[in-house]
């Protein structure tokens, strides 16, 4: 089969796309990718070909403007150029690439979507719903309105999308989680499946990082991994991390690639980079402080590392809620963060034996997920041209 993969340009998005692409290639499928031109070298290094935007290439699928109508229109044109030249059997895209839904409908091609590590829209029925569901309702309504307007702009017939009967799911929608974290999915639309974390990373040598991690291990000092995503108009917690842990006996390693505030002056006990190999770093990590972006949280869950989560926008509040109810994380509102509160919460987290136990149990369950194999098996079922619905033969898999 021929698979066309579409990805936003952020490293977390590109990494999962690389994992899917390499897995599909190993199974004998033909794969090409559409994404921003800035990702071409990374894809090429792993043997995956990026199809340009057109005869005149340029920016496309940029993460920071994913929801802007002009950006989505560029996605559609890029995808249609790629579909016409490659003639794929299946389009595989991501939850935020709304252009893929329009291109798939216009070009009459089945589309699979890879989501975040929790389902972000309202459930069909949820009598035991935890907390306020208004954020999910708001998110769903805004996504549906955006898709409806864009469909009309691209000449597609007007449709009425009833709430919770979503055109946002494509023919297959894959949530990057497991039952122990996401819970019962029987009240989700039938084309929603759990596929495990779908995390992939380069395995490049990095002597500078290796030496720093070795020194931490030799000194037996606590190591805290920090990742702050985009915080929009909420108070950033990164300055409080600098003040609370700078020049102390605690080592801090921070990934700042998606942070929307200045890094500032870095203390001597900090190791800071735009991108970090999470799998390697998490082996030595005592706890994580993060904004609950999917990639960071999945990295901590796979490694059994407890987290202090400080969510702002996007998927962060939903992901933080899942981790809190799974008892693997403590959660703070950004407005509550002070250097003193960070130190206090972190100390309680590290000393909480139940959280460490639950984090370890969840890590075992994540390690058993046939993650990319599960996703690829589901995607292969799209060759029939019909939506892939849940059944006993098409469900979450484990490697036993």
- pTM score: 0.93
- Check pLDDT > 70 for residue 128: no
Indicate whether 202 belongs to any domain: no
* C-alpha torsion angle, residues 75, 78, 80, 82 (rounded to 10): -130
142 and 271: one domain?
no
Indicate whether 138 belongs to any domain: yes
Indicate whether 166 belongs to any domain: yes
Q: What is the mean pLDDT of residues 385-393?
A: 79
Predicted local confidence at residue 160, as pLDDT: 57
121 and 211: one domain?
no
181 and 231: one domain?
no
214 and 352: one domain?
yes
Predicted local confidence at residue 178, as pLDDT: 95
Q: Which has the higher per-residue pLDDT, 122 or 308?
A: 308
* C-alpha torsion angle, residues 44, 48, 54, 58 (rounded to 10): -40
Contact assessment for residue 170 and residue 112, using Cβ atoms and an 8 Å cutoff: yes
308 and 375: one domain?
no
219 and 176: one domain?
no
Indicate whether 152 belongs to any domain: yes
57 and 24: one domain?
yes
145 and 48: one domain?
yes
In total, how many domains does the chain have?
2
Which CATH number characterizes residue 330's domain? 3.40.50.2000
68 and 45: one domain?
yes
34 and 167: one domain?
yes
Q: What is the mean pLDDT of residues 173-181?
A: 96
158 and 217: one domain?
no
Locate the DSSP E strands across 284-397. Answer: 287-290, 307-309, 329-331
- Check pLDDT > 50 for residue 400: no
Q: Using CA atoms, how far apart are residues 319 and 182, in angstroms rounded to an integer?
A: 10
- Check pLDDT > 70 for residue 392: no
For residue 50, what are the domain limits? 2-196+369-384
Residues 6+ apart with CB under 8 A from 159: 148, 151, 167
User: Could you read off the pLDDT of 205-225 as tens digits, one per residue?
Assistant: 899 999 999 999 888 889 999
If DSSP codes are grouped into helix, strand and coil, which group holds residue 45? helix
Which residue carries 């605690």 as its tokens? 250
Q: Using CA atoms, how far apart are residues 13 and 39, in angstroms rounded to an integer?
A: 11
179 and 302: one domain?
no
* C-alpha torsion angle, residues 325, 328, 332, 338 (rounded to 10): 170
Tell me what the pLDDT averaged over the chain comes to: 91
Nearest to 307 by CA among 120, 114, 295, 367: 295
Predicted local confidence at residue 200, as pLDDT: 94
């Amino acid at each position: 089969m021929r698979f066309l993969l579409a990805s936003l340009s952020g490293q977390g998005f590109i990494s999962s796309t690389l994992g899917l692409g390499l897995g599909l290639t190993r199974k004998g499928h033909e794969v090409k990718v559409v994404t921003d031109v800035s990702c071409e070298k990374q894809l090429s290094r792993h043997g995956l070909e990026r199809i340009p935007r057109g005869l005149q290439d340029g920016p496309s699928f940029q993460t920071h403007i994913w929801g802007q109508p002009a950006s989505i229109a560029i996605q559609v044109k890029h995808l249609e150029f790629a579909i016409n030249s490659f003639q794929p059997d299946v389009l595989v895209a991501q939850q935020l690439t709304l252009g893929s839904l329009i291109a798939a409908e216009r070009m009459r091609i089945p589309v699979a979507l890879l989501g975040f590590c929790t389902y972000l829209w309202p459930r069909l029925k949820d009598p035991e719903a935890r907390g306020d569901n208004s954020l999910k309702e708001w998110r769903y309504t805004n996504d549906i309105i955006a898709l409806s307007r864009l469909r009309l702009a691209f000449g597609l017939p007007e449709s009425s999308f009833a709430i919770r009967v979503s055109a946002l799911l494509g023919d297959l929608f894959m949530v990057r989680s497991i039952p122990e974290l996401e819970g019962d999915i029987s009240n989700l639309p039938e084309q929603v499946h759990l596929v495990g974390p779908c995390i992939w990373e380069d395995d490049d040598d990095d002597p500078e990082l290796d030496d720093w991690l070795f020194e931490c291990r030799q000194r037996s000092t606590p190591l805290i991994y920090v990742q702050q995503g985009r915080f929009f108009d909420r108070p950033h917690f990164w300055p409080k991390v600098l003040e609370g842990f700078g020049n102390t006996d605690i080592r801090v390693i921070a990934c700042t690639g998606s942070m929307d505030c200045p890094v500032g002056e870095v203390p001597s006990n900090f190791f800071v980079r735009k991108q970090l190999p999470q799998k390697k770093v998490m082996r030595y990590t005592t706890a994580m402080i993060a904004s609950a972006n999917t990639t960071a949280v999945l990295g901590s869950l796979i490694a059994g590392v407890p987290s202090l989560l400080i969510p702002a926008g996007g998927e962060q509040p939903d992901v933080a809620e899942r981790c809190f109810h799974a008892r693997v994380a403590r959660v703070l509102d950004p407005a509550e963060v002070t250097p003193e509160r960070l130190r206090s919460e972190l100390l309680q987290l590290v000393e909480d034996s139940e959280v460490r136990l639950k984090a370890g149990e969840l890590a075992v369950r994540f390690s058993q997920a046939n993650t990319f194999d599960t996703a690829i098996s589901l995607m292969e079922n799209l060759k029939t041209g019909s939506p892939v619905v849940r059944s006993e033969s098409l469900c979450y898999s484990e490697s036993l």
